[in-house]
A = this chain, B = another copy of it.
Amino acid sequence: MTDFPQDYETFDLGDFRLQHGATLRGAQLAYKTFGELNAEKSNVIVCPTWYSGRHWDNEWMIGAGMALDPTKYFIVIPNMLGNGVSSSPSNTAPPYDRAQFPNVTLYDQVEAQHALLTQRYGIERIALVTGWSMGAAQTYQWAVSHPDMVERAAPFCGSSKTSIHNFVFLEGVKAALTADAAFQGGWYHEQPEKGIRAAARVYAGWGFSQAFYWDEIYRDVWDSLRLRTKLTFSSLEDFLVTYWEGHFLGGGPIFHERDANDLLAMLWTWQYGNVGATPGFDGDHVKALRSIKARLIAMPAERDMYFPPEDEDYASQFIEKGEVRRIPGVWGHFAGIGDNPVDSSFIDDVLKELLKGKGGLV
């Protein structure tokens, strides 16, 4: 795991106590910032990473003239614990290494990020938290864990509580990965490639909608903001190997290596996502949503197969200043990854609108 961009900073979380009891000693939160923190410390945007994503995967959202404009805002991308850049199974020293890496909740993720913002930067208010997929889950968690700190929230293609169906989808991904004997219960010395490739193939059916495949959109040229390149695939199999297996396995021209235990650590965090599990809410998801003070615009994708927009309609009714804007089109969940300019623009426009509202800088 040495092929990563080294363009990030780290924050020492010290002896980081996790919600489920373990202490991750010397835990490191890796992050990258863009722009300058202003004197009032009022221009902060937090943009957490997604499942298997690293900070550079969120950079497509940032640019002069975009909502996340580094000439106006101080933008922080914290790497989720477990993602291979922050403390993770793949980079933690024994005894909490590899298969023994402890369960990390979304509450824990946000507490780590909160420590960074408050202790290193003295930040007390966040203008916006926004993120895709598990980044959306962290966005919701921020709004619940720190309701007086978060002014605006824009979770896209994600949820405040992982649905049962979503949990089942992830069971399939996990089962495929761990079916490979080379996984060795997590104590491998070489990545279980066959299992990782299998997990990627399972994921391929879920990431995009049925209509995306029907329309053979993988044959089109994609001007990917995220990967800063044009993508095109010569066949379905080329798409499955290059985009999907490449995404999970890394080593291809456009992706970086991922570790099996890291993938499983993040998967656990995702499966047990629930803002109701925040201390003080006793598991009550609705009560947790009712506590949100931020203006919150959820952006589910119209044809997302595992975060269907109906789920966000349901959640939104409990959020006082909550609303839902559906991302139209056929990209499904991957509408939010930054590979499709049309969907990326939709998201950016909503973020701009949200930031222009009361309390915004513009």
In the complex, are the beta carbons of B176 and A172 less than 8 A apart?
yes
A163 close to B (CB within 8 Å)? yes
Distance (whole angstroms) from the CB of A191 to the closest CB of chain B: 13
Say what secondary structure dominates the interface of chain A. Answer: helix
A201 and B172: CB pair below 8 A?
A: yes
Extra pairs beyond A166-B210, A168-B204, A168-B236 (12, CB < 8 Å): A164-B236, A165-B212, A165-B213, A172-B204, A175-B197, A176-B201, A177-B179, A210-B305, A210-B306, A210-B310, A210-B311, A211-B310
For residue A195, CB closer than 8 A to chain B, the reply is yes
A-B contacts, 14 of them at CB < 8 A, read: A164-B214, A164-B216, A165-B212, A165-B214, A167-B236, A171-B204, A172-B172, A172-B176, A176-B179, A180-B181, A198-B198, A202-B202, A210-B305, A210-B306
What is the total number of copies of this protein in its complex?
2
Residues of B within 8 A of A181 (CB): 180-182, 194
Given contacts A164-B236, A181-B182, contact A169 B214 (CB under 8 A): no
A198 to chain B: which residues have CB within 8 Å?
A: 172, 175-176, 178-179, 198
Q: What class of interface size applies to chain A in its complex with B? A: 35 or more
Known: A172-B176, A176-B198, A201-B175. A165 touches B308 (CB 8 A): no
Asked if A294 is at the interface of the complex by the 8 Å CB criterion, the answer is no
| A contacts, CB < 8 Å to B | 163-169, 171-172, 174-182, 194-195, 197-198, 201-206, 208-214, 216, 236, 240, 305-306, 308, 310-311
